[in-house]
Structure formats: C-alpha cells, structure tokens
Amino acid sequence: MPEKPTQLIGQSGPFLDAVERASAAAPLSRPVLVVGERGTGKEMIAERLHRLSPRWEEPLVSLNCAALPETLLDAELFGYEAGAFTGAVRARAGRFEEADGGTLFLDEVGMLTAAGQERLLRVVEYGELARLGSTRVIRVDVRVVAATNEDLPRLAEQGKFRADLLDRLSFEVITLPPLRARREDIRPLADFFGRRMASELGWNRFPGFSARVLEELEAHDWPGNVRELKNAVERAVYRWGEAERPIGALDLNPFESPWRPTGAFTRPSSAMALPLPETNSPAEAEKPETETPLPSDFRGAIALYERKLLEQALGASRHNQRRAAQMLGLSYDQLRHAMKRHNLLQG
C-alpha cells in the first residue's frame, strides 16, 4: 500500500483537541464544518472523519469550490442533463451522486453561488437533489464535510452566505490551530518531512538539521502553515545534497533573489527601522567641504561601515538573520553574502 502523502502529526494541546473532536464526531452521519487557515490540514481532518466512520468502505469524494468558475460549480456538484447548458452534450452525474453512501468533502464552501447554497441546503436537509436541466428528484445518502478559511457567521450576517445552510453544516465545528499556535509541533513535523525527502532522494539516513536551521524553523510565523513548512523542509533537504552533514541552510522564501523583479514588489510594512551608526551632526555636515576629513582608505572605510551595520542589525535581531535582513532592506541571500564577506558566518 503506497504511503499517504500527508499525515496528522503533532502533540500540542490545540492540535490534539481538534483531532480528538474529529474522532468523536466521525461515527455520526452528521455534517461537520472544518475551519482553519490555508495549509492547516482541513482535508486530512475530513479524511479522518470518513475513515473512522461506518462509511469508510464507501467513496470519499472531494471538490474544491474555489477551483471552478461559478458557471461550472453547480454543474460539477449536482450534475446535469443533456442540453442543460451550452456544451452539455450528454448527461453527467455530479459529485453528490458519486459520493452516494459515503462522504463528500466540500473545500472552500463559502465560494458556492446563491443557487448552489440553496441546492446544497436541500441535499443536507432532505437528501434530495435535481440535476441541472431536470426536475426529476434523485435521492442520495451522503455525509457532508465542509471546510472554509472564511468567517462564515460574519458572511451570513452580511447576507453573503445562507444562515440556514450554516446552521445545518455546523452540527459540529472543528477549528484547526495555525502552526504558529503549535510551535512545539514544528520540530516533529520538520523531522518527518525531512526524513521522507531524504528517503525519496535515496539517502541511507537523514542527518537532521543544524541548530541554526532549527532556530530559524521555530522562529518563523509560517503564514502558509504545515504546507509551507513541508515545502521549506523538502526544499532545504534536496538543495543541501549532503547525506552525512546536518542540513545547514534554509530558504524560507524561494522567490528571494538579487534579481527579483521589483515592479510589483513592496517591502513588508512590518520591516523594522534600524538606526544608522553615528555620523557627523547636521551642523558638522554644513561645514565647508574642505573642513570634512576624508578617509585615506576609501574602500576600507566603506567595508568598516558595512560591517558595523551588519553587526548592529544582528545584535538588534538577536542573530535572527531573516529579521536582520529585513531591518537592512536586504534579502536573506544578500545578507548571507555580506556576512560571508566580513567573516561573520559561524560554522
């Protein structure tokens, strides 16, 4: 049996609470709403709800409601008859019919059209649907697990999501914590992804991570959550390419480059201002140019000034190199190159 591409890994309290709630709700044929940021594992919770239910031998069908245009979403979900719309040359069953007897996972359910929400409410409420272009009622036995990263109660208050549908979908609500709220899980997850990537590369063993890389992993906020962590770790392992030495380099943003196009780039507003090393006062700066002392070694003075800036930024960021780079307005790679020039890299 092939290894599953993803697994539920973690030991933090908030994460275990969410998993236990999913396990408790699994045996019930009731709708469940899974809420969480992107990359938190909503689809894995849906799979757990299915695998631990009496429906585990029946189909688990998934549909990402954000992946289809409105004109096709309802047709994909509920099916259609021949001639229902331009291009519908023959009838087709929808995802609900495919999932009959099993579970239907609707990711990004907040993207459903108003008509789609109305049809979904009828299926959840009565187990009945009609294909587009038909009035014939089809009965289905499907457990619905919906997921969203939206605030559905707020959307319902604004009239953008049906309140009665929200009531039906929220028999149980499982909210997944973001990775920044479960930092004790970062190392186990990184180790799991690292070992799996090492195995894929044919390494005999996984050498682990250096102390500096572990520190960077734990300091990052992971806006993309577990999915972002997985990509960063796997990228670090394959780029490192040395099976005998601990992974010593981590690139959290593969888009960072000295040659990155700057047309649409805006520096993050969270960038911290770094005070410059002491310079002449404004009064001194106004003195005639002949009174301004000039360095006898211009390049040496520039190098000394650059090193002082680097040391000041590293000190202010407690040697968090990504924060130091942000303070100086540099990319991570640019900072590392500058540190290397001044022999500031350790190990």
pLDDT digits (tens, 9 = 90+) for 255-288: 887 777 766 544 444 445 555 555 454 444 454 5
Domain boundary among 151, 177, 203: 177
> Do 68 and 145 have their domain in common?
yes
Residue 271 located in a structural domain: yes
Domain boundary among 177, 195, 229: 177
- Summarize pLDDT for 208-224 with one digit per residue, the tens: 999 999 999 999 999 99
> Do 165 and 193 have their domain in common?
no
- How many structural domains is the chain composed of? 3
Query: What is the pLDDT at residue 105?
Result: 97
> Do 277 and 226 have their domain in common?
no
Residue 42 located in a structural domain: yes
Query: What is the pLDDT at residue 19?
Result: 96
Structure tokens at 34: 């899974």
Q: What is the CATH number of the domain that holds 232?
A: 1.10.8.60
> Do 153 and 19 have their domain in common?
yes
**pTM of the predicted model, to two decimals?**
0.71
Domain boundary among 157, 177, 197: 177
Short-list 202, 142, 148, 138, CA closest to 173: 148
> Do 216 and 329 have their domain in common?
no
Cα 142 from Cα 129, distance rounded (Å): 11
Amino acid at 302: I
Paired strand residues for 106: 63, 146
Query: What is the pLDDT at residue 292?
Result: 52
Q: What is the CATH number of the domain that holds 320?
A: 1.10.10.60
Domain interval for residue 306: 265-281+300-347
End-to-end CA distance of the chain: 42
> Do 172 and 188 have their domain in common?
no
> Do 30 and 110 have their domain in common?
yes
Cα 314 from Cα 327, distance rounded (Å): 9
All residue ranges of the chain with pLDDT < 70 are: 1-6, 262-296, 346-347
Query: What is the pLDDT at residue 291?
Result: 54
Residue 3 located in a structural domain: no
> Do 169 and 200 have their domain in common?
no
198: CB partners within 8 A, 6+ apart: 205, 206, 207, 237, 243
